[in-house]
């Protein structure tokens, strides 16, 4: 789910005409298809959102490697350090997504308002057939990012529960001996 949010272009935008993403800006020109172009003058908030999004993706990658190792090697299923690492990396991924979403949401809305307040931007978008005075909307990529962060927090809780189970089992084995 996060990969979809990471790769797609519709984080937020202007209703019926503009989509803003991490990597591109898309405009629906006068009764035609969407035209997407990579950011030329990348706004600072996009750079910050990208940084947190990439850190989240790296955290997800590390947690996937740990999960595969955990499942593939039964001896690792009793390793508390591995479970604690998995828990912390998962929590980090969720926090990085939340930071990317907050920055994109707050500063992205400000960016859309700046478009509405700049005469040159208004003329440029009107020329393309986009009414910049339409409302600012949240896109599907933004919703996917929020959903994936919530699911990641839930995964973190399950990893902590598993850590506690393994800890109690090792304590029980130590007392039995």
Q: What average pLDDT does the segment 111-138 reach?
A: 88
Which of 2, 3, 1, 34 lies closest to 20, judged by CA? 34
CATH code at position 83: 1.20.140.150
How many domains does the chain fold into?
1
Residue 5 pLDDT: 93
Domain coverage including residue 98: 2-176
Residue 17 pLDDT: 85
Q: Is the pLDDT of residue 39 over 90?
A: no
pTM (2 d.p.): 0.87
Task: Report how far residue 147's alpha carbon sits from residue 142's, in angstroms, rounded to the nearest whole number.
Answer: 9
- E strands in the chain: 12-14, 18-20, 24-28, 34-38, 136-138
Work out the pLDDT band at 28, boundaries 50, 70, 90: confident
Q: What average pLDDT does the segment 122-132 reach?
A: 86
Q: Is the pLDDT of residue 79 over 70?
A: yes
Higher pLDDT among residues 142 and 31, named by residue: 142
Work out the pLDDT band at 46, boundaries 50, 70, 90: very high
Contacts of 10 (CB under 8 A, 6+ apart): 19, 21, 26, 139, 140, 141, 142
In angstroms, the Cα distances linking 10 to 79, 129, 132, 157 are 41, 18, 16, 30
């Amino acid at each position: 789910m996060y990969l979809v949010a990471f790769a797609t272009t519709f984080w937020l935008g202007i209703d019926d005409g503009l989509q803003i993403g991490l990597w591109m800006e898309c405009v629906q020109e006068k009764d035609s298809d969407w035209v997407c172009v990579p950011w030329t003058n990348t706004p600072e908030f996009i750079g910050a959102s990208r940084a947190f999004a990439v850190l989240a993706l790296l955290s997800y990658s590390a947690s996937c490697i740990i999960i595969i190792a955990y499942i593939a090697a039964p001896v690792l299923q009793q390793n508390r350090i591995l479970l604690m690492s998995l828990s912390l990396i998962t929590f980090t991924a969720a926090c990085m997504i939340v930071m990317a979403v907050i920055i994109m949401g707050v500063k992205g809305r400000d960016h859309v308002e700046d478009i509405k307040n700049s005469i040159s931007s208004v003329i440029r978008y009107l020329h393309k057939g986009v009414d910049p005075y339409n409302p600012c909307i949240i896109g599907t990529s933004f919703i996917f990012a929020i959903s994936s962060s919530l699911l990641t927090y839930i995964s973190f809780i399950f990893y902590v529960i598993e850590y506690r189970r393994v800890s109690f089992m090792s304590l029980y084995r130590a007392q039995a001996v």
